[in-house]
Amino acid sequence: MGFKSGPGVLAFRPTSMPRHPHELSVVGSGTRITGRISGSGALRIEGAVKGDVNVNGDTELAEGGSVEGNLHGESLEIAGSLLGDARASGAIAVLRSAKVRGELRGAEISIEAGARISVRLETEFDLDFATAQKRR
């Protein structure tokens, strides 16, 4: 949507908004949402969401943000509070400021020291038994 103005006139006229595959949507710090969020593109949550979040893009739960529900995205970065399951087709990064209770399921999972978690982990990984044998 756009505005067209002239001398002493303000007229509203619709214009097409460009859509980009890496578009970012933000739930601001003063925003509280109750219900499901879904869509395409990246999402940053700084506020509070009570409900499931399912995004076809990268998702960031910022420090100070919270989700009470399941969080799904291509990749997830969690620095806020999550009470629910997190699932990503790519990586999940749990940062030191995070508080997470639920299940983490992703292609790759990293958890920084200091993060407060009570989770069940599900991921694919290889164990290097040769290194473990050398340490004995």
**pLDDT score at 90:** 92
Whether 84 is in a domain gets the answer yes
**pLDDT score at 2:** 41
Whether 135 is in a domain gets the answer no
Give the model's confidence band at 19: pLDDT under 50 very low, under 70 low, under 90 confident, else very high.
very low
The pTM of the full predicted model, rounded to 2 decimals, is 0.76
Whether 132 is in a domain gets the answer no
| 48-82 per-position pLDDT tens digit | 999 999 999 999 999 999 999 999 999 999 999 99
Burial of 51 (0-12, 13-18, 19+ CB in 10 A): middle
| Percent share of the chain, pLDDT over 70 | 75
Number of domains in the chain: 1
Whether 14 is in a domain gets the answer no
How far apart CA 93 and CA 77 sit, in angstroms, is: 5
The token pair that represents 44 in the structure block = 């940053």
**pLDDT score at 136:** 56
Taking residues 38-49, what's their average pLDDT?
94
Strands 116-122 and 99-105, bridge-based pairing: parallel
The token pair that represents 136 in the structure block = 């004995």
How far apart CA 43 and CA 22 sit, in angstroms, is: 10
Whether 57 is in a domain gets the answer yes
DSSP H or E stretch at residue 86: strand 86-88
CB 65 within 8 A of CB 82: no
- The parent domain of residue 100 ranges over 24-120
Is 134 strand, coil or helix?
Answer: helix
Place of tokens 């699932």: 87
Whether 70 is in a domain gets the answer yes
**pLDDT score at 83:** 98
Whether 38 is in a domain gets the answer yes
| 99-129 per-position pLDDT tens digit | 999 999 998 898 999 999 999 888 776 656 5
